[in-house]
Amino acid sequence: MYETLLMIPGPTRVAPRVLKAMSKSMINHRSAAFGEILKETNDMMSKVFRTENESYLLTGSGTAAMEAAVGNITQKGDKVLNILGGKFGERFMQITETHKGSPVELEVEWGHAVNPNYIKDILEKDEDIKAVTVVHNETSTGVANPIAEIGKIVKDYDALYIVDTVSSLGGDDVFVDGYNIDICVTGSQKCLAAPPGMAAITLSDDAWNVVDKTENDTYYLNMRKYKKSGDKNPPETPYTPSVSLMYAMREALNIIMEEGLDSRILRHKQAAKATRAGVKALGLELFAEPDAASNTVTAIKMPEGVTDKDLRGTMRNKYHIELAGGQDHLKGNVFRIGHMGNITQRDIITTISALEMTLKELGFDLEMGKGVEAVENVYLS
């Protein structure tokens, strides 16, 4: 009866136009007509990545592109510097291990951004490091890492710079060419506001040189095959893509082009600012360090005396708003508000208002109206 408001870091609300695009009839994926759709979609993807290089769409979730990024440049024993500051940073390390690479681990306290100088120190000492993996927006902790600064450092070394922008591309500043990123990956269901199930990847010339020289053990995700098919005119994919999701991606990217990437990022920045102001005014504490706060997801410490089950349960059952819980050791200790994709001012105002009522009901001491007032002040300033 009620449509749930998804305030989670993906899947995010999908525009009716995108849902409608998905209901179109199937066409031959080896036809000129599909090639046109693929080309348009790839070209828009490159615009969103802000790169002159080609982009490739993979049928699979964001993790497929993470695996493609590492798997294609790693052979047995290759050293990859993995920055571990949350669940997704750890995933890159697990993928490195899966592809027989040798992870060099840089531990970062959860809730903090990585200090780029530590990356420099490690690269300075170990010239065998073949690649550095960084998660731009650590969705598990609500932290944004300084990918522009890291790019300036990695550029001076032989290592490839791999960045996961799954929960930031389309919602925060990402300049693939401007930041010297060699391999950048993203997923469909977060800031791009398409349904889950598609991932995108773009590679620099340096990255392709390494891919061409690496004896990798990928098959479905072998980027050489994607390039070979993608270079055809019109382009193709090596295996049958999700035709319906391609329609959806194209339409979701059309919407981004219409809104304008800069306006879209600004909208996300304001939503993040309003969310942080709102929860702080309620007397709650943010999990991420203030100078590392994400523009697309906010992690909040669970207030004393309130359980995750009651808080998110009340939000869901009474107000039809879905929030995200904590992951791994943060389960029960934080909850997260996703403010990514087609998020509006109304969504933030509603969420903070419902959170205020929920906390009041659960016996948390607060002054009614303060949260919403803080959100309003951000939006009116």
Ligand X SMILES: *Cc1c(COP(=O)(O)O)cnc(C)c1O
**Calpha distance 192→13 (Å, rounded):** 10
Q: Which is nearer to ligand X, 66 or 282 (CB)?
A: 66
Query: Closest separation between CB of residue 297 and ligand X, Å?
Result: 8
Q: Which is nearer to ligand X, 13 or 235 (CB)?
A: 13
Beta bridge partners of 203: 183
Query: Closest separation between CB of residue 100 and ligand X, Å?
Result: 21
Q: Which is nearer to ligand X, 67 or 236 (CB)?
A: 67
Beta bridge partners of 337: 298
Query: Closest separation between CB of residue 327 and ligand X, Å?
Result: 10
Size of the site for ligand X (CB under 6 A): 14
Write the CB contacts of 294 (distance below 8 Å, at least 6 apart in sequence).
137, 138, 139, 142, 143, 144, 167, 168, 172, 272, 288
Exposed / middle / buried, residue 261 (Cβ in 10 Å: 0-12, 13-18, 19+): middle
Q: Torsion over CA of 46, 48, 52 and 53, rounded to 10 degrees?
A: -40
Q: Which is nearer to ligand X, 10 or 235 (CB)?
A: 10
Query: Closest separation between CB of residue 336 and ligand X, Å?
Result: 11
Q: Which is nearer to ligand X, 46 or 133 (CB)?
A: 133
Write the CB contacts of 167 (distance below 8 Å, at least 6 apart in sequence).
9, 10, 136, 137, 139, 187, 190, 191, 294, 296, 297, 340
- Identify which of 80, 55, 72, 65 has the alpha carbon closest to the alpha carbon of residue 212: 72
Q: Which is nearer to ligand X, 62 or 235 (CB)?
A: 62
Residues numbered 316-345 forming contacts with ligand X, rule: CB under 6 A: none
**Calpha distance 211→204 (Å, rounded):** 10
Residues numbered 51-90 forming contacts with ligand X, rule: CB under 6 A: 61-63, 66, 88
What angle do the packed helices 205-213 and 223-230 form, to 10 degrees?
A: 120
User: For ligand X, which residue of 14, 45, 135, 221 counts as binding (CB under 6 A)?
Assistant: 135
Look at strands 102-107 and 324-325 and give their pairing.
Answer: unpaired
Query: Closest separation between CB of residue 203 and ligand X, Å?
Result: 18
Residues numbered 146-205 forming contacts with ligand X, rule: CB under 6 A: 164, 166-167, 187
- Identify which of 379, 313, 335, 359 has the alpha carbon closest to the alpha carbon of residue 369: 359
User: For ligand X, which residue of 139, 218, 237, 298 counts as binding (CB under 6 A)?
Assistant: 139
Query: Closest separation between CB of residue 306 and ligand X, Å?
Result: 25
Query: Closest separation between CB of residue 253 and ligand X, Å?
Result: 17
Q: Which is nearer to ligand X, 66 or 193 (CB)?
A: 66
Q: Which residues bind ligand X (CB under 6 A)?
A: 9-10, 61-63, 66, 88, 135, 137, 139, 164, 166-167, 187
